Amino acid sequence: MEIAFLSGKGGTGKSSICAAFISIAKNVIAVDCDVDAANLYLIFPPKNTIETNYISGKNAIIHQDKCTQCGLCKELCQFDAINIAEGKFEVDSISCDGCALCFRKCPTKAIEMVDSDDSKLYFGDFRNGSIIYGRLSPGEENSGKFISVVRSLAREKSKELGIEDIIIDGPPGIGCPFMSTITGVDKVVVVTEPSMSGLVDLKRSIDVAQSFMQEIYVIINKYDLNPEVTNQIKEYCLEKNIEIIAFLPFDKEVVDAMINGQTIIEYNSESDISNRIREAYQIVFKS
Amino acid sequence: MKIAIASGKGGTGKTFVSTNLFKTFESLGHSTLLVDCDVECPNSLLFFDLKKVSDTKVTEYRPIIDADKCVYCGLCYEYCEYKAIFYVPELKHIKVLDNLCHGCKACSIACKHGAIEDSSTEIGDVSFFSDSNSHIFVEGRLKEGKIASIPIIKSAIKEASLLSYEYLLMDSSPGTSCPFIQTAVRSDYIVLVAEPTPFGLSDLKQSVETLNSINKDYGVIINRSGLGDIKVYDYLKDNEIPIIAEIPFSKEIARYYSEGKLAVSHIEEVKILFEEISNKIMKNGNSIS
């Protein structure tokens, strides 16, 4: 079974709760799809890590010796990625989407497409199984494509090692990385918090998620922070026919566990919050 | 002056800082425009009582293939770097896959038979709002189910920049890749909001790496100080990164935030703290611009 943790709004506790699920699972493939800001490996540092370079895309470069400044590339580019600086045409690598149209159409063949390969893919064993995470090179585009690469490696390893369960820590937001994370997973757990921002982002992520799949669960983290908003979340989930599988109280021990490099389950197995997470785990994995 | 409020990790308090900073800048007598660039999950405007003034649709190019004119040569398929054209020549079947298309127009330029018609699809909007004091607010919003955030971020900042204001505050998306960098490159100064936890530190390092790669000036606000550990302070000190301020962890602040209220309007200490933060940011801004 492949399960993804998502949130819409960032910082709701997605990674901490996902890590707790992983430590309950015992033998699992843990996948970090928040390739912008991967954190799972801090709790589950892998040994024998295999690092591979990932070509995250291509960027155009203009060879000035061949460029006749005809301006066709600038005219064709839909991404406003061609600038004129001191009379020279140059590609702004941040805006370049790698579509290669300028490369194909340049009449003097002055444009070359080069790989951007600073992104890294890591795989290794940790105390509860195997972990896979990606690190997109700073400022790189195409995180959606990178996430699908991370996920297909996870599926390969799952088959190879005979480990059935894959638990994914997803990215915040509802755009391209969210879509790549949710496509084809069996179940989604959306972690939210009782704030006005949390509620509107929850609604947006559920709306998008429901167009992909049925099996969606909600965890309300820090539910005691604002009981009124917690009630609004409950009403919303009831209306959308979504099961809330845990109400987790605010507990400083979750941060203490993180500082200690542990999940809350490992740090204090008998705490109220650990028990509640275990119950939620049973619902997701037994149904 | 354009100031971006950003963070690698989500939920560190970008929106909290942006909205309270806006209120403080205004109360100190500086005309300020708040722009929500977190287009996937825009939340800044929840903290104000606003009316929508105008709304501009953001569209992205989409090709439409005319089956009568198509000769199934496959050139458009070859040109598409995103595998967004589904092409089975044996069955004379060709189709654009909307979710994979980036709108680069390469297929349309490639087609020699006039079989591709240029069209567009709505991916989101940029809206202007106004409060009872006629302050203008701008929000970029990605349409649910669409994936292209960047054109909306660019368009929100572009439209906001047409207005004349002393300060433009941009609430950025979390992360360190495209949406973050698109906001960062369009700003004069970046306020990174970080949490003093292991996750917070790891993501802060990645944000710093990105900002260094584009040569931007920045400072750090440590939010929820007292909740985590001291490693983030060691890192900032070792790398000579300025700390603009520390905002203590407080359930009272969290409570106001959760209700959609501005802490500076309700807690005196927070109001004073944000005045200090504002003065520091303005001073930094003046020294670079």
Q: Domain for residue B239, yes or no?
A: yes
Q: Domain for residue B53, yes or no?
A: no
Q: Which domain holds residue B146?
A: 2-48+131-288
A164 at B interface, C-beta within 8 A: no
Instruction: Compare all CA atoms of chain B with the CA of A135 and give the residue at the minimum distance.
Output: B206
The interface predicted TM-score of the complex, written ipTM, equals 0.91
pLDDT reported for residue B154: 94
**Residue A83 and residue A213 in one domain:** no
**Residue B226 and residue B278 in one domain:** yes
Q: Domain for residue B55, yes or no?
A: no
A17 at B interface, C-beta within 8 A: no
Asked if residues B231 and B201 have their Cβ atoms less than 8 Å apart, the reply is: yes
Q: Which domain holds residue A147?
A: 2-55+119-286
Beta bridge partners of A61: A112
Domains in chain A, number: 2
Q: Domain for residue B54, yes or no?
A: no
**Residue B168 and residue B64 in one domain:** no
- pLDDT of B286 > 70? The answer is no
**Residue B86 and residue B205 in one domain:** no
Q: Domain for residue B168, yes or no?
A: yes
What's the rounded Cα separation, in Å, for the pair B125 and B127? 6
pLDDT reported for residue A5: 98
Instruction: Compare all CA atoms of chain B with the CA of A261 and give the residue at the minimum distance.
Output: B198
Tokens of B170: 């941009």
Asked if residues A154 and A70 have their Cβ atoms less than 8 Å apart, the reply is: no
Could you tell me the mean pLDDT of each successive run of 10 residues in chain A, 287 residues long? 95 96 96 93 94 88 96 96 94 91 97 88 96 84 85 95 97 92 96 96 95 93 96 98 97 95 97 98 91
**Residue A24 and residue A166 in one domain:** yes
By CB atoms closer than 10 A (0-12, 13-18, 19+), residue B88 is exposed
pLDDT reported for residue A143: 82
**Residue B9 and residue B138 in one domain:** yes
DSSP string computed for chain B: -EEEEE-SSTTSSHHHHHHHHHHHHHHTT--EEEEE--TTS--GGGGS--EEEEEEEEEEEEEEE-TTT-----HHHHH-TT--EEEEGGGTEEEE-TTT-----HHHHH-SSS-EEEEEEEEEEEEEEE-TT--EEEEEEEPTT----HHHHHHHHHHHHTS--SEEEEEPPSSSSHHHHHHHTT-SEEEEEE-SSHHHHHHHHHHHHHHHHTT--EEEEEEEETSS-SHHHHHHHHTTPPEEEEEE--HHHHHHHHTT--GGGT-HHHHHHHHHHHHHHHHHHHHH-
pLDDT tens for residues B170-208?
A: 999 998 888 899 999 999 999 999 999 999 999 999 999
- pTM, to two decimals: 0.93
Last residue of a domain, one of A97, A116, A135: A116
Last residue of a domain, one of B122, B150, B175: B122
Residue that the structure tokens 């504002």 belong to: B278
pLDDT reported for residue A36: 87
> Taking all residues of chain B, what is their mean pLDDT, rounded to a whole number?
94
**Residue B15 and residue B92 in one domain:** no
Sheet containing A2-6, strands listed edge to edge, beginning at the edge strand earlier in sequence: A47-54, A119-126, A129-135, A28-32, A166-169, A2-6, A187-192, A216-221, A243-248
CATH code (residue A100): 3.30.70.20
**Residue B163 and residue B255 in one domain:** yes
CATH code (residue A40): 3.40.50.300
**Residue A152 and residue A209 in one domain:** yes
**Residue A34 and residue A154 in one domain:** yes
**Residue A172 and residue A234 in one domain:** yes
Q: Domain for residue B280, yes or no?
A: yes
Task: Answer whether A173 sits within 8 Å of B258, measured CB to CB.
Answer: no
**Residue A39 and residue A156 in one domain:** yes
Last residue of a domain, one of B72, B88, B122: B122
CATH code (residue B19): 3.40.50.300
B147 at A interface, C-beta within 8 A: yes
**Residue B72 and residue B159 in one domain:** no
pLDDT reported for residue B287: 57
Average pLDDT over residues B14-31: 97
**Residue B41 and residue B72 in one domain:** no
Asked if residues B278 and B28 have their Cβ atoms less than 8 Å apart, the reply is: yes
Average pLDDT over residues B134-146: 94
Query: In sequence order, what are the residues at sequence separation of 6 or more whose Cβ sits closer than 8 angstroms to the Cβ of residue B36?
Result: B18, B42, B43, B44, B45, B137, B138, B139, B140, B156, B171
B88 at A interface, C-beta within 8 A: no
**Residue B238 and residue B185 in one domain:** yes
**Residue B177 and residue B226 in one domain:** yes
- pLDDT of B288 > 60? The answer is no
pLDDT tens for residues B207-260?
A: 999 999 899 999 999 999 999 899 999 999 999 999 999 999 999 999 999 999
Last residue of a domain, one of B122, B155, B170: B122
**Residue A109 and residue A179 in one domain:** no
pLDDT reported for residue A56: 75
A46 at B interface, C-beta within 8 A: no
**Residue B214 and residue B262 in one domain:** yes
**Residue A108 and residue A241 in one domain:** no
Residue that the structure tokens 């008998």 belong to: A270
Domains in chain B, number: 2
pLDDT reported for residue A30: 98
Query: In sequence order, what are the residues at sequence separation of 6 or more whose Cβ sits closer than 8 angstroms to the Cβ of residue A251?
Result: A264, A271, A272, A273
Residue that the structure tokens 């298309």 belong to: B101
Q: Domain for residue B209, yes or no?
A: yes
Contacts of A175 in chain B (CB under 8 A): 39-40, 142, 146-149, 179
Task: Answer whether B177 sits within 8 Å of A252, measured CB to CB.
Answer: no
pLDDT reported for residue A137: 78
Instruction: Compare all CA atoms of chain B with the CA of A40 and give the residue at the minimum distance.
Output: B199
CATH code (residue B66): 3.30.70.20
